Structure 1
């Protein structure tokens, strides 16, 4: 969730803003020209991404290198601390923008999710966000509910009632969605915007484009999208650049909900070694008149001079991890006469917050790095919602005989014992609909990816909701054995990251990734009997998967579909109910054949 790097990346070719007046003096052809020509204008940009409604400190760390050969853990995150960090950066810039690259909402903490993420919007209003590029999780509760987030109001569009704590006024900042196309051909939100700084001959303009990854339809409920489609990212951006230039944009900043990963010897949020991921294919096709690309989606932290990967594309590329634990400080120097950015640099700042305890002891703030105080107005606002959610968070919600987890966290492609437990719960909740098999998608299991019961085996509703925050319906449908194989093959194709569906007890399958795509599932059994390709089976999944989410298109047939009377989180709570703690799944259900 951060970007490893053995050494800090330095931009030798990028001048600090403070040096620009000196440089201008050195190259002035005549003494009186320096007095007449406007000096470069400095604009600061504060950038975040993938906040995911982390109102309270998430009690996780950001890893950074120290002066020795090891790394330090810095406790980070929490909306009130993020507000102070943003304020500290903005105080250095008379001209500034605050932007986000998507997923402000969706897969959020319970204190936000229970209230339809209204408090997350309220926090961002108080922080002073200017623009947010729509991410895939912004669509978690559907297109209409997302529009309500922008416009405000209390129209009920989901099973949860809105405006339970306060009248919801909507976002004061603007959502941007250049490639999110409605059935009428218009963009769901504006594609771009321009912000001006300074006056007269010293005025400069920055164009901002907001875009999400084109695979959003595969990552969101198709029903909730209501016909919204997603155009190619690079084609969309490249068509907008000339328009912004015609409107006088001296610099262009792209906010894109797509990202990458880095790999180095040690973690370093400032670095960019060995950049991989979906962002590279987009960047390699972008118009070079774009100056800065603020990215997201992968929950990684990096600062990149992209010219080191593609000299023809000298973009400044940034990403600020996840949960507001890191914020990016970007400096642009813009020549108002030439109408272009003449210098750019960035650094990632860890939002150190309060210490916390884990299994290995206490993780405390480190004085070698900035430590931020909680901003009082934001802290009070968060507390209002935390208190309202506390009763529900602490409510006993079932018993479990031991710990279950999805090992590897966000980037693991298997569900572990936690995925098996969820699949078993969903099968148990839908047997009356004839269900024989249930599947859970590992990428749908959220942080902290672990359920640790108390000494008496008790789990709270807050614990359950943390790992399953989407309120998905459960859908049971009919699939032939051949279609069932096609579903599993979707997880092993070469189009998306490999994902091994977690199966309910009794269903076992084997796969061999050395075989060609489409023929990697080599065996399937149910209760010890081979799956018959021609026979029909009743299969339960959450509604996200049932609508083809995560590229499981073979599930989107919805033949003889029945919607369960309870959603996914209610099914898990029901499965864990009773006086005797539920046993931890121990059977192997997915077997990888290795050579």
Structure 2
């Protein structure tokens, strides 16, 4: 394991490489490549694609780039037709090239993929020549059985085959080292995989965040146990070492927060300080030095940083944002004599998936095939809006609209329904006024609604005491949500003050909480509507999981469609809500 003998980035590079090699400067060190002992291995990686086959729209389809003079600009990015072209171009001249991913390839997908349970995305990844990926939390949105179908193939158990051909499944292995079957205690999919070529061997260990059960519906993780990421990686690193595989990459669906939003921010620049924070830092600092690099994800941020391993040696940790907007190109210099990576020679950089290159014809054909099947459903109008209804801010106009839609659906099921709560993470896009495709300005299509709410959660009713309602609001900013608050979107009639100058649960001002102008009575019973994810205690809202007298309604997208249909028309579109139900004190 070369990393254990690293003394400094420059010194060992000069000492370890043959005379014909040179240590470059930049992100990591660029080795020369002798024909004998050292072999450059290209590692291309990306993460959090979320089924975005077509170019993402709005801010989801742009990246920020820092210019040489320190200013920034945004660049349009993403789309699998362009991603394929960029990856294929990057591989040219690299005889030893591996393509890996950091999870969330599917789930929360736009209609083009999500309508067909992400079969189109798996087909696209096969064509991209993806070699291996870890699972992410969204791979469990539809449960372990559906994940197994994506891996192994077969038509959908209830909807059957979407085309005249049987779905073949993924050509690449999904790795789930820390996801165990509760009954057997064994990983539900392969824990690791080894890439081999001409005597060069690189092992991959794949894990998702241990906290996956808290951010996935209870049904999605039923019968599964999620183990600690570090312990699991270290366990299988030992297994690989015993098999003679000394070059190891961890694919970790957990991430960090760089100090800059620019994809080309230099975490390791002088004066940058720590450069990156978040869960991945502790993971990287504790994963065994036997692991040579970490490909990460989950936070949808872009970074290429070195974080010291437990031996104090620098180790590359990367993430390529999300939605196929970036890919990471890492050079691992393999030492044929030791079978390990000469870590002082590792270099890495993120690259933009620009849209100024030719589209990959096979991806264009794939998108066209699935769009033909989706169009009759996706183009159907479901409502009308008078302007953009955004999904940003502590309280968003779209969040209020969705909460109102769920309150209305709740009252269809039970007229005594009092209020509705919506988790911000369940809202995946904004509703835009401008025309797209065959629709007119202000028209909301089923495809747009699906993009906003792709999870197929049901709208559930349950009884909570007033004290429990107050506790739910406090859980937004306390417990597991204290460091990164999750502010629920609330239906009309529910108001309160959020004082951000305070800390923890005190940020919710209890005596400000009102329902239709009246204080919440701690001893009274309230009928609350929320999606099934929240009703199961998801996102750290454990009190919501304690409700009684449950009643299950239609799925959340149906509730939104019914609300838009009932409350809007071409002549009288819905205006964006004012987003003034939560008073913010800063």
TM range (shorter): 0.7 to 0.9
Gap change, CA 1:289 and 1:530, over 3 Å in 2: same
Aligned equivalent of 1:553, options 518, 531, 542: 542
Query: How far, CA to CA, are the matches of 2:420 and 2:37 in structure 1?
Result: 65
CA shift for structure 1 position 38: 4.1
Query: How far, CA to CA, are the matches of 1:290 and 1:573 in structure 2?
Result: 49
CA shift for structure 1 position 310: 8.2
CA shift for structure 1 position 574: 0.9
Alignment of 1:379-458 (within 5 A): 379-407=364-392, 414-431=394-411, 432-433=413-414, 434-447=416-429, 449-452=430-433, 457-458=442-443
Gap change, CA 1:154 and 1:585, over 3 Å in 2: same
Q: For 1:244-293, what per-residue CA distance to the aligned partner results, in whole angstroms no more than 9, with x for missing partners?
A: 111111211000001112124x7243522520111112112111121110
Report the more deviating stretch, 509-518 or 186-195.
509-518
Query: How far, CA to CA, are the matches of 2:10 and 2:383 in structure 1?
Result: 57
Gap change, CA 1:62 and 1:459, over 3 Å in 2: same
* Partner SS for 1:466: helix
Gap change, CA 1:567 and 1:161, over 3 Å in 2: farther
Alignment of 1:333-372 (within 5 A): 333-342=333-342, 343-353=345-355, 365=356, 372=357
Alignment of 1:130-529 (within 5 A): 130-156=131-157, 162-164=161-163, 166-184=165-183, 185-198=185-198, 203-264=199-260, 267-269=262-264, 271-272=266-267, 273=272, 274-307=275-308, 312-342=312-342, 343-353=345-355, 365=356, 372-407=357-392, 414-431=394-411, 432-433=413-414, 434-447=416-429, 449-452=430-433, 457-496=442-481, 497-515=484-502, 517-521=504-508, 522=510, 523-529=512-518
Q: For 1:501-549, what per-residue CA distance to the aligned partner results, in whole angstroms no more than 9, with x for missing partners?
A: 1110001122334555344432321111111111111111111111122
Gap change, CA 1:513 and 1:453, over 3 Å in 2: same
Gap change, CA 1:568 and 1:15, over 3 Å in 2: farther
Contact conserved, 1:404 with 1:451, CA < 8 A, in 2? yes
1:573 aligns to what? 561
Query: How far, CA to CA, are the matches of 1:162 and 1:546 in structure 2?
Result: 32
Query: How far, CA to CA, are the matches of 2:326 and 2:13 in structure 1?
Result: 23
Query: How far, CA to CA, are the matches of 2:434 and 2:350 in structure 1?
Result: 36
Query: How far, CA to CA, are the matches of 2:89 and 2:13 in structure 1?
Result: 22
2:4 aligns to what? none
Query: How far, CA to CA, are the matches of 2:18 and 2:55 in structure 1?
Result: 39
Query: How far, CA to CA, are the matches of 1:72 and 1:517 in structure 2?
Result: 36
Aligned equivalent of 1:46, options 38, 44, 47: 44
Query: How far, CA to CA, are the matches of 1:103 and 1:15 in structure 2?
Result: 36
* Partner SS for 1:555: helix
Query: How far, CA to CA, are the matches of 1:15 and 1:388 in structure 2?
Result: 55
* Partner SS for 2:44: strand
Report the more deviating stretch, 135-144 or 504-513.
504-513
CA shift for structure 1 position 303: 0.9
CA shift for structure 1 position 230: 1.1
Query: How far, CA to CA, are the matches of 1:223 and 1:20 in structure 2?
Result: 56
Query: How far, CA to CA, are the matches of 1:379 and 1:510 in structure 2?
Result: 50
CA shift for structure 1 position 167: 2.0
Query: How far, CA to CA, are the matches of 1:259 and 1:20 in structure 2?
Result: 36
CA RMSD of aligned residues (A): 2.5
Gap change, CA 1:313 and 1:259, over 3 Å in 2: farther
TM-score, with length taken from structure 1: 0.86
Contact conserved, 1:270 with 1:347, CA < 8 A, in 2? no
Gap change, CA 1:224 and 1:44, over 3 Å in 2: same
CA shift for structure 1 position 332: 0.9
Q: For 1:372-394, what per-residue CA distance to the aligned partner results, in whole angstroms no more than 9, with x for missing partners?
A: 32111122111111222223222
Contact conserved, 1:415 with 1:445, CA < 8 A, in 2? no
Contact conserved, 2:256 with 2:278, CA < 8 A, in 1? yes
Gap change, CA 1:73 and 1:110, over 3 Å in 2: same
Query: How far, CA to CA, are the matches of 2:209 and 2:43 in structure 1?
Result: 22
Query: How far, CA to CA, are the matches of 1:524 and 1:234 in structure 2?
Result: 42
CA shift for structure 1 position 336: 1.9
Q: Does 1:123 align with 2:124?
A: yes
CA shift for structure 1 position 311: 7.6
Q: Structure 1, unaligned stretches of length 5 or more? A: 1-10, 26-35, 354-364, 366-371
* Partner SS for 2:201: strand
* Partner SS for 1:74: strand
CA shift for structure 1 position 145: 1.0
CA shift for structure 1 position 223: 1.4
Contact conserved, 1:492 with 1:513, CA < 8 A, in 2? no
Contact conserved, 1:284 with 1:313, CA < 8 A, in 2? no
TM-score, with length taken from structure 2: 0.87
Q: How many residues align?
A: 541
Gap change, CA 1:93 and 1:529, over 3 Å in 2: same
